[in-house]
A and B are shown apart, each in its own frame.
Chain A
Amino acid sequence: MDLEEAEEFKERCTQCEAVSWGLTDEGKYYCTSCHNVTERSKEVINTDVIPHAQIKALNRGLKRKNNSEKGWDWYVCEGFQYILYQQAEALKNLGVGPELKNDVLHNFWKRYLQKSKQAYCKNPVHTTGRKPTVLEDNLSHSDWASEPELLSDVNSPFLESGMESQSDVHTRKSFPISKASQSETSVCSGSLDGVEYSQRKEKGIVKMTMPQTLAFCYLSLLWQREAITLSDLLRFVEEDHIPYINAFQHFPEQMKLYGRDRGIFGTESWPNYDDIYKKTIEVATFLDLPRFPEITEDCYLHPNILCMKYLMEVNLPDEMHSLTCHVVKMTGMGEVDFLTFDPIAKMAKTVKYDVQAVAIIVVVLKLLFLLDDNLEWSLSNLAEKHNEKNKKDKPWFDFRKWYQIMKKAFDEKKQNWEEARAKYLWKSEKPLYYSYVDKPVAYKKREMVVNLQKQFSTLVDSTPTAGKKSPSSFQFNWTGEDTERTCFHGHSLQGVLKEKGQSLLTKNSLYWLSTQKFCRCYCTHVTTYEESNYSLSYQFILNLFSFLLRIKTSLLHEEVSLVEKELFKKKYSVTKKKSKSKKVRRY
């Protein structure tokens, strides 16, 4: 047995994960730390070193990994392109128009490749530090590089034929083939430029990451003015309707991922609203996109429509809609210029349409019920009495009853959601490993987990869990036949409004501001949300809505404050003198 001879063999032991091999008399490798004997045997790789006459075992086992095991040559950006393709396809299946995939996202992506100098330009970034000669060979192909009208390009074959690597010939050709030199270095990645990519830090260039793919998706949805908000998009990702976690496992067999690719494509977190929102703006600015199509009153993203949607979602009376419209009008939040995203503008910012709509509803609830843990209950008493007396009329909206029903439904939903998250399976069928040394261990672990899961699946409750939920922009359903859950959509607000001449006034004449002072320092917070400072009703409503949007409660609180800031603009300037914040609102 000779340890030196076994140095060639670099895989980890499947038993104890050590890399310390010896050779048995039969020429098989055995692990010196746990004595596990493998099926592999020593092969003579380089006859030049043979003078070691001790080698008894000859080439019996596997040959060195041949090229088919190494897989294709591919670049990181191709991987992202593939993922974007899948995501676009998934969006199409959700009912989004096909133009999104074929035109919009395609063009955004081409623009990105060009801006980040990865393709469609004279000097693609892949060649830096490598062999420029290769590029020169390919220069004859570079007529495409002068294809500037990206957004008007419609006849490109991009993304049409499923696997882009055949279709997007231009992109491929521009990459120098330098696989040979890489395979000898020890730093690894399955992609050609994975190692370099993960180290690349270029100023002014937005690097593609997994969250960035969602930013691209959202940008295209926004461009198309589709009926999917950012929170919907992220919820679909979490519910696995849009490929994101382990999206790489659907790569073609020959696109091998390991080593550094793991950090680039593997992700163990769901996307976060704030993060994707910021990335969207970042990408749009980087791509230097023109002003987006206008968000007008008939668009889904207009607050009037979104408010209607969320009022239905949380089982509030339809009559509230006229109040939300009123607030939208007073604050100017329904105006085209306010709503339309313009990345070229000085301060590029887009509206968080869904959060804003919900915040408007919260403000309206505050206007009607004050939500000070007092008035809403006494108004409920009135409504209850009235409803008991007049059983035939349209019932008055009873806040207490609504709260009880919502609380129950919300708690159930949240419990299910938490359980589903705890059961989420993160690991892909294709395990990601750091290097070839780790490959057998990673695969063995996977196999082990699958076997254990198989064994335990027989012990699980036989009633199958409802299966994969079909995607829906609604999470609650109130119009169903369930009599336990009263539907409040048709209830009237008469109990909380009073007529005065031609107009309706809220019975409640008080208001409190969620925030009295806005933060002016450089921290990104507009304001802070300390739960315990607020009434229980307010907390409940914030929790309910922020759960629906899967955002942090503080984010919604901020948005509520911003809506109030618009609504009470004048009063705000007055409050600087008067510290008292009680306001009288009239309609």
Chain B
Amino acid sequence: MSDFSEELKGPVTDDEQVETSVLSGAGMHFPWLQTYIETVAIGGKRKKDFAQTTSACLSFIQEALLKHQWQQAAGYMYSYFQTLEDSDSYKRQAAPEIIWKLGSEILFYHPKSNVETFNTFADRMKNIGIMNYLKISLQHALYLLHHGMLEDAKRNLSEAETWRHGEKTSSREILINVIQAYKGLLQYYTWSKKKTELSKLDKDDYAYSAVAQDVFNHSWKTSVNISALIKIPGVWDPFVKSYVEMLEFYGDRDGAQEVLTNYAYDEKFPSNPNAHIYLYNFLKRQKAPRSKLISVLKILYQIVPSHKLMLEFHTLLRKSEKEEHHKLGLEVLFGVLDFAGCTKNITAWKYLAKYLKKILMGNHLVWVQEEWNSRKNWWPSFHFSYFWAKSDWKEDTALSCEKAFVAGLLLGKGCRYFRYILKQDHQILGKKIKRMKRSVKKYSIVNPRL
């Protein structure tokens, strides 16, 4: 079974990726393994036709969904409901979840379906057994959100929150936290709206204090709802973001910093670049010292070396007094340009051109060689081919000049890219190109000045 819940929630809001990654667990899925095990266990014994036809029915539904044939899918679904009565208790217990996933998918897209149909279906499925109540409630609420029915979604979440049936399990505990956090997120949304309202009002306006009071009340409820969830290891970006926003708004900087630091550094949490980005942005807003900013970005550099903040990181490193930071600054630039998505980033090339010259002037040839050694096999064709020289020049002459300079420094003046740009006769850039030629002659690593 593929995880349909993810697909269902995909179009709802962008926030969902957050909790699915946790709910589906970190384990890998081997859908084929299950069927394999089943056939092994059965041995030579014939499977009941009931099992055969229902599993065929399931594949027909999946095929129909894949082809967006919602009516056909509904037709097969009609028959698939009988798995709720499967005499095989293992399959019977697994049936509600499968049916919910497939059925909600069908109802989400089916032209004849509407919110009412979906609500009826969700309410029915919630009450088959007790295993799926919370999950379905949450997904039901997300569906309502998608249809702009905020109040209904909120009511749904509140109902789920107070639902107490059966024994408590840790997985259920997390689900309740997620539900509460979503409630908090909805409250944040209202708060945020009120806040913009407030900012439009004059302080002397008679309505000001009332609105301000409202804003305060909301934030209090929200923080209670969200704070429980974000202590549990997981990826909770939107929750953390809105929570921090509110804390900052009320001046609780220490609290905000604590939340962010915990979110970024707690080892129990899965590695999450956003956590470091949030923390960095927060610290920047707080005008934190450079060394602190560097240490945050250093971790981000390890996770996402191509992130656009890396250029900022480079600037910070360049400005630093420590020599090792200078060396790292070079590494970072090379790292950014390793990625295909960054090849046309003119700032990166400009930085590299300037920095290379500076480094070479500062007699740190070894650093450059160190970086270059691992790249000399593939960068020439990746960045500095004749084809690129032509197309770069056509598209963006400034970029091609920067690249040509880098190419000249790294590959020597004989390099094709460099030569091509040099040959181009450009009036405005003429001087610059001449200067470049001189620098290349002087500093290129290909013919060390010995």
Residues of A within 8 A of B (CB): 15-17, 33-36, 268-270, 418-419, 421-427, 431, 442, 445-446, 448-449, 451-453, 455-461
Contacts and interface: CB of A to CB of B under 8 A. Distances in A.
Contacts of B112: 458-459
B164 A461 contact: no
Interface in B135-175: 164-167
B110 to A, nearest CB: 5
Given A268-B50, A460-B71, A455 B117 contact: yes
A16 B165 contact: yes
Interface in B103-122: 103, 106-107, 110, 112-113, 117, 120-121
A33 B79 contact: no
26 contacts: A15-B127, A15-B129, A15-B165, A16-B130, A17-B129, A33-B167, A35-B164, A418-B56, A422-B56, A422-B60, A422-B76, A423-B57, A423-B78, A424-B79, A431-B85, A448-B124, A448-B128, A449-B81, A449-B82, A452-B121, A456-B77, A456-B78, A457-B78, A459-B71, A459-B112, A461-B75
B70 interface: yes
B165 A36 contact: yes
B87 interface: yes
A269 B50 contact: yes
Contacts of B124: 448, 451-452, 455
Contacts of A268: 48-51, 87
B359 interface: no
Contacts of A35: 164-165
B74 interface: yes
B130 A269 contact: no
Contacts of B81: 449, 452-453, 456
B60 A445 contact: no
B13 interface: no
B166 A16 contact: yes
A34 B84 contact: no
A456 B74 contact: yes
Nearest to B93: A17
B166 to A, nearest CB: 5
B398 to A, nearest CB: 59
Given A34-B130, A421-B56, A426-B50, A459 B76 contact: no
A85 B7 CA distance: 52
Given A268-B50, A422-B57, 16 more contacts: A33-B166, A35-B164, A268-B49, A270-B49, A422-B53, A422-B56, A423-B75, A425-B82, A431-B85, A442-B85, A452-B81, A452-B99, A455-B120, A459-B106, A460-B74, A460-B75
Contact of A424 (B53, B99, B113, B120): B53
B72 interface: yes
| 9 residue pairs, one from A and one from B, having the closest CB atoms | A268-B50, A459-B74, A422-B57, A269-B49, A34-B165, A422-B56, A461-B71, A423-B79, A460-B75
Interface string B62-90: 00000000111011111101101101000
Contacts of A424: 53, 79
Contacts of B85: 427, 431, 442, 445-446, 449
B165 A422 contact: no
B420 to A, nearest CB: 60
Contacts of B84: 445, 448-449
A137 to B, nearest CB: 41
For B54, B87, B113, the residue with the greatest tally of chain A CB atoms inside 10 Å of its CB is: B87
For B51, B53, B56, B72, the residue with the greatest tally of chain A CB atoms inside 10 Å of its CB is: B53
A456 B113 CA distance: 10
Contacts of B120: 455
A73 B71 CA distance: 47
A32 to B, nearest CB: 10
A460 B77 CA distance: 9
Contacts of B166: 16, 33-34
Contacts of B130: 15-16, 34
Given A448-B128, A452-B124, A455-B120, A460 B78 contact: yes
B52 to A, nearest CB: 8
Contact of B48 (A15, A269, A422, A461): A269
A426 B79 CA distance: 9
Nearest to A454: B78
Contacts of A452: 81, 99, 103, 121, 124
A426 B51 CA distance: 10
A461 B72 contact: yes
Contacts of A459: 70-71, 74, 106-107, 110, 112-113, 117
Interface string B35-67: 000000000001011110110110010000000
Nearest to A16: B130
A15 B81 CA distance: 18
Contact of B82 (A36, A427, A442): A427
Contacts of A423: 57, 75-76, 78-79
A422 B51 CA distance: 10
A81 B444 CA distance: 101
A455 B393 CA distance: 64
A345 B166 CA distance: 66
A453 B78 contact: yes
Nearest to B79: A423
Interface in B9-49: 46, 48-49
Nearest to A448: B128
B224 to A, nearest CB: 26
